[in-house]
Amino acid sequence: MQRAQEAEVRSVASELRIAICDDWEQCALSCADWAELQQLADVQFFSAPFQSPEDAIRRLADFDAICLMRERTPFPKEVIDQLPRLKRLLFTGERNAAVDIGHARSRGIEVSGTTSGPNKASTAEHTWALILAATRRIVPAMQTAQQGLWRPVDDARYPLPDVLEGDRIGVIGLGAIGSRVARIAQGFGMEVVAWSQNLTDQQASSLGIRRVEKNELIATSKVISLHLVLSDRTRRVIGQTEYSLMRRDALLVNTSRSGLIDQEGLIAALDSGRPGHAALDVFDQEPIAENHPLLTHPCVTHTPHLGYVAAPVMEIFYRQLANDLTVWSRQWLNTNAAPGGYRPPSSASGVTPNAIRKRDTML
């Protein structure tokens, strides 16, 4: 198996140790200025996914503060209880269903998120990138051109490109992201209908959208796009019953949370022809297993959870993390250092914040 790299950037020695996890894009260092924080603490950047909860515990047990990128690394009670030094837990974004926030706070751990920046616009635009890629058959066309062919083979697996203008899109969840997706659809000349448990006729009509019942949306829409917060009420809002109602040419799009649909049941549904195609940015397990059938299914267009990943979003995330951690580190050191025991390192020591840079490998 190909070995994944884990980047660790070590600053000068300090009482505090801080872990910046989930830097899968390896962009944290370039997105923010960490120099001031590295003068205060031993900061390490982890660029590879943890292989298991046990792996995360082993690697993070000696850190005082841990930063997480969205919901990439789950932090349930079982993980939190095995991190005895943890005092500060930060994650990017305004909510994180993968962190047991209540339990962490009950243990005296300070927990907070960041602002979201333009991630809602990023996710809405990515939703449309998937819709267009699937509708216009962009991926098979590109792949066949790379193989020296000028056209994809027009068989049952790769039907001809389609047109959206004049057809119907059903938006499930008309919040900040769903409403953006709907406005773009209107620009394409599509009829937009919407549904969610809380959506009213007045709310929908204020956006020039008609509210319909769930089953009508599912049975009549060419594109069905999900934009709900995952909760007990919304989990598997799309399952076997809903799949069976879909048009044979329907495109199911999920850039929200995988738990909104029956992911494993989707494979059989696609094989049966309802829906005709799925465009997915989220999966039950992330990273998804290399041999998962969704990755190679001819009726699936997929991306590796990129909806919120954009340069302006990541810059806001990491700059706020760096600033919040710097403020917290100064406060903690001023409060807890022994008299005369803490002095911010200076360049006169001959050790600069980035003097020690190490790249390790991890299976």
Sequence ranges of the domains in the chain: 4-117+310-362, 120-302
**Mean pLDDT value of segment 140-161:** 82
Burial bucket for residue 335 (CB in 10 Å: 0-12, 13-18, 19+):
exposed
Residue 38, CA distances (Å) to 10, 45, 300, 317 in order = 8, 12, 44, 18
The answer to whether the CB of 225 falls within 8 A of the CB of 217 is no
Q: What is the pLDDT of residue 189?
A: 98
Q: What is the pLDDT of residue 279?
A: 99
Sorting pLDDT into bands at 50, 70 and 90, what band is 157?
Answer: low
Burial bucket for residue 271 (CB in 10 Å: 0-12, 13-18, 19+):
exposed
**Mean pLDDT value of segment 115-130:** 95
Q: What is the pLDDT of residue 355?
A: 28
Q: What is the pLDDT of residue 338?
A: 56
Phi and psi at residue 262, in whole multiples of 5°? -85, 95
- Considering 78, 216, 264, 286, which one is annotated as catalytic? 286
pLDDT of 362 above 80: no
The answer to whether the CB of 281 falls within 8 A of the CB of 255 is yes
The CATH code of domain 120-302 reads: 3.40.50.720
Q: What is the pLDDT of residue 117?
A: 85
16-20/65-68 β-pairing: parallel
pLDDT tens digits, 197-256:
999 999 999 999 999 999 999 999 999 999 999 999 999 999 999 999 999 999 999 999
Q: What percent of the chain has pLDDT over 70?
A: 87
Residue whose C-alpha is closest to residue 310's, from 98, 31, 32: 31
**Mean pLDDT value of segment 35-45:** 97
Q: Is 99 left (phi over 0), alpha (psi -120 to 50) or beta?
A: beta
pLDDT tens digits, 268-296:
999 999 999 999 999 999 999 999 999 99
Whether 286 sits among the annotated catalytic residues: the reply is: yes
**Mean pLDDT value of segment 142-154:** 86
Show Cβ contacts of residue 220 under 8 Å, excluding neighbours closer than 6 positions. Answer: 168, 170, 193, 212, 247
Q: What is the pLDDT of residue 6?
A: 40
Q: Do domains 4-117+310-362 and 120-302 have the same CATH topology?
A: yes
Higher pLDDT, 338 or 223: 223
pTM, two decimals, is 0.86
The CATH code of domain 4-117+310-362 reads: 3.40.50.720
Average pLDDT, the chain: 90
pLDDT of 330 above 80: yes
- Considering 257, 277, 297, 302, which one is annotated as catalytic? 257
pLDDT of 343 above 60: no
168-172/191-195 β-pairing: parallel
Whether 305 sits among the annotated catalytic residues: the reply is: yes
**Mean pLDDT value of segment 8-19:** 63
Sorting pLDDT into bands at 50, 70 and 90, what band is 348?
Answer: very low
**Mean pLDDT value of segment 317-333:** 97
**Mean pLDDT value of segment 24-50:** 98
Sorting pLDDT into bands at 50, 70 and 90, what band is 151?
Answer: confident
